Amino acid sequence: MQITVLKESEAGESRVALIPDHIKKLTALKATVAIESGAGVQAGASDEAYTAAGATVSHNRAALLESADVLLVVNRLRAEEVVSLKKGATVIGFLKPLDEPAALKPLIDRGVTAFAMEMIPRSTIAQKMDALSSQASLAGYAAVILGAERLNRVLPMMTTPAGTIAPSKVFVIGAGVAGLQAIATARRLGAHVEAFDVRPEVEEQIKSLGARFVKVDLGQTSGTAQGYAKQLTEEQLEKQREVMARQCAQSDLVITTAQVFGRKAPIILTTPMIEGMKPGSVVVDTAIETGGNVECAKFNEEIFVNGVRVIGIPQLARHVPVHASQMYSSNLVSLIEHAFDKETGNIKQNADDDILRSCLIIRNHELINETVKSRMS
């Protein structure tokens, strides 16, 4: 079994699917590992490091594609390159099956097996494979660092000869993985932090990080079985926005992380709410890739609205590619070890357990995941 890793071709991508430290785990499975030259440079992994770890490094991207039994990717392969894969090859990575299901057609037509890392279930046994959570945690950290750098004031309280500087006020909307990491990071930097989530059960988690939980009476709300927030009604969203408007007006840095798995992100902050904030304030919308939580946010842009900087940069984990790649590589290797068939020496292609049943989406020219199928129509 040859496991192949290419240099990512998507604009702005700095991560790599496999780091040298994890190659020995794959060669222990009797697999060979082939890497495209330069694939890990931005993530701090040189060609020499891959070679020293036991991988073969090549400049021939086309030959690597054609010889791959298992292709590990961060982002979905370009459609024009899918035709170079051998039939029956396995592709594992972020494939955007719910956001862009129609783009899966080249993989279906080619007859490859595809595992989507987005579909890994949030269960205890699958935790070490949960790439969405890994990247979301880093995105929450990067959002605070980015917002702090853009802010026109310092975050911590400081006692100086000129007097005491009050701490900046940070408001985090959404207390999932990204939100909790944003709260923790802002607190470490000395900010006064407040946070909100529609799921009342996360109140204790927010408080345990030293932040104040902002309560909004939305009636009955709870998370899904996998820990994601459920979609709110329009009436609940309106109640939420009333409180959010007051909270944002007194905040210096606002970070939105609210997402509903497999759906467009809800609009939480309207343009008038942004206009009501103090000039010089900063808003970072980490949900911009799925539509965004901020009405006026622009994809991959930083704009000013009445003196408020609104940042809509996607994939914030790319800002810390060394650790983002380290975590993602670990997630991929854990999945391969879980799915490896010792008898055949290859990746299992049958959905014989909960994890594989969730993330195996394409097999034998057919889209087999029912959730993804429902989005194709």
Residue 162 CB-density burial (10 A; 0-12 exposed, 13-18 middle, 19+ buried): exposed
Dist CA 227 CA 67 (whole Å): 39
Whether the CB-CB separation of 187 and 193 falls below 8 Å is answered with yes
The pair of three-digit structure tokens given for residue 160, joined into one six-digit string? 């100086």
The strand pair at 360-363 and 346-347 is best described as unpaired
Cα distance between residue 85 and residue 62, in whole Å: 9
Q: Quick check: 230 and 261 in contact, CB under 8 A? A: no
Please say whether the beta carbons of 261 and 228 come within 8 A: yes
Residues with Cβ within 8 Å of residue 256, at least 6 apart in sequence: 173, 174, 268, 269, 283, 284, 285, 286, 287, 292, 293, 294
Instruction: Give the CA distances from residue 139 to residues 19, 152, 180, 330, in Å, rounded to whole numbers and listed in that order.
Output: 20, 22, 11, 17
Selecting among 14, 47, 76, 130, the annotated active-site residue is 130
Rounded distance, CA 130 to CA 126, Å?
6
Secondary structure of 180-228 in the HEC alphabet? HHHHHHHHHCCCEEEEECCCHHHHHHHHHCCCEECCCCCCCCCECCCCC
The token duo for 359 is 């993330």
Q: Which of 127, 205, 231, 349 is the catalytic position?
A: 127
> What number of helices (H) and strands (E) belong to the chain?
13, 19
Distance CA(72)–CA(144), nearest Å, equals 30
- Euclidean distance between CA atoms 333 and 93, whole angstroms: 11
Report the length, in residues, of the chain: 377
Asked about 240 being catalytic, the answer comes back as: no
Residue whose structure tokens are 């190659």:
23
47 given a catalytic annotation = no
Q: Tell me how far apart the alpha carbons of residues 287 and 145 are, in angstroms, rounded to a whole number.
A: 16
Q: Choosing from 99, 123, 228, 357, which is the catalytic residue?
A: 228
CA within 13 Å, CB half, 22: 23
The one catalytic residue among 61, 122, 357, 375: 122
Catalytic residue among 14, 15, 133, 358: 133
Question: Does the active-site annotation cover 50?
Answer: no
Residue that has been written with the tokens 């008038």 in this structure: 272
Residue 217 among the catalytic residues: no
What backbone phi and psi angles, to 5 degrees, belong to 285?
-100, 100
Please identify every residue annotated as catalytic: 122, 127, 130, 133, 228
